[in-house]
């Protein structure tokens, strides 16, 4: 009788453990989504995009490939958390929607911070050789600068239109918003110093 009670207890514990293992699998799946691609950068070349896709897109785009192991807890939680954090910091599929992280891309690629070592253990093809790092860095620098030039051009046009219409106050507020939005890109400051004459 006592042995039967012990078996029931072991069976209950086993069922509870199995039920918990099943339950913890589900929540991470709700965050493993790929929202629509809103806008990508103006890539300087297909090669830059291909290198960036290979090394960065799984965590920094809305085109994440969710492997089988990313569906099994506790790994699913780590993978999902890394992707959610990565997208919030820099998202190539929402370029222009958020400027956060764009100024650090070059430094992180060159230093080897990105892609992180833990990611490379499961995705060795994402590792960039030195020549690929240089090519990716150069390509990204070009389209970041193009975006900065475009932003500066918009600011200059807005200021000119404000002066022409003599409605400088509301437009200066708009100009201030644009400046705040785009000064997150460190390159715009350097570009402005070199090309400030376009506003004259």
**CA separation for the pair 62, 125 (Å, rounded):** 20
Burial of residue 90 (number of CB atoms within 10 Å: 0-12, 13-18, 19+):
buried
Lowest-pLDDT range of 52-66, 97-111, 173-187: 173-187
The answer to pTM > 0.85 is no
Token pair of 33 as six digits: 């989504």
State what percent of residues in the chain have pLDDT above 70.
Answer: 60
* pLDDT at position 164 over 90: no
8-state DSSP, 114: S
Taking the domains of the chain in order of start, what are their residue ranges? 24-30+41-199
Rounded to an integer, the average pLDDT of 143-160 is 60
Nearest to 141 by CA among 167, 170, 113, 108: 108
Burial of residue 164 (number of CB atoms within 10 Å: 0-12, 13-18, 19+):
exposed
Summarize pLDDT for 11-67 with one digit per residue, the tens.
888 888 888 777 766 667 777 889 999 888 888 889 989 999 999 999 999 999 999
* pLDDT at position 152 over 80: no
Rounded to an integer, the average pLDDT of 157-169 is 58
Range from 101-110, 114-123, 163-172 that averages highest in pLDDT: 114-123
* pLDDT at position 178 over 90: no
């Amino acid at each position: 009788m006592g042995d039967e009670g012990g078996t029931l207890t072991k069976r209950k514990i086993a069922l509870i453990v199995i039920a918990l293992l099943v339950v913890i699998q589900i929540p991470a799946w709700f965050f493993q989504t790929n929202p629509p691609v809103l806008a990508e950068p103006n890539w300087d070349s297909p090669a830059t995009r291909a290198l960036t896709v290979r090394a960065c897109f799984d965590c920094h785009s809305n085109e994440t490939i969710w492997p089988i192991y990313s569906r099994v807890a506790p790994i699913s939680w780590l993978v999902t958390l890394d992707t959610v954090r990565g997208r919030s910091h820099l998202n190539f599929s929402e370029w222009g929607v958020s400027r956060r992280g764009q100024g650090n891309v070059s430094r992180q690629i060159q230093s080897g911070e990105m892609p992180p070592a833990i990611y490379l253990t499961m995705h060795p093809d994402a590792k960039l050789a030195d020549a690929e790092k240089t090519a990716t860095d150069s390509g990204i620098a070009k389209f970041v600068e193009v975006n900065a030039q475009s932003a500066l051009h918009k600011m200059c046009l807005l200021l000119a239109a404000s002066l022409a219409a003599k409605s400088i106050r509301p437009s200066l507020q708009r100009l201030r918003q644009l400046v705040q939005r785009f000064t997150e890109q460190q390159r715009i400051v350097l570009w402005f110093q070199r090309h400030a004459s376009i506003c004259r």
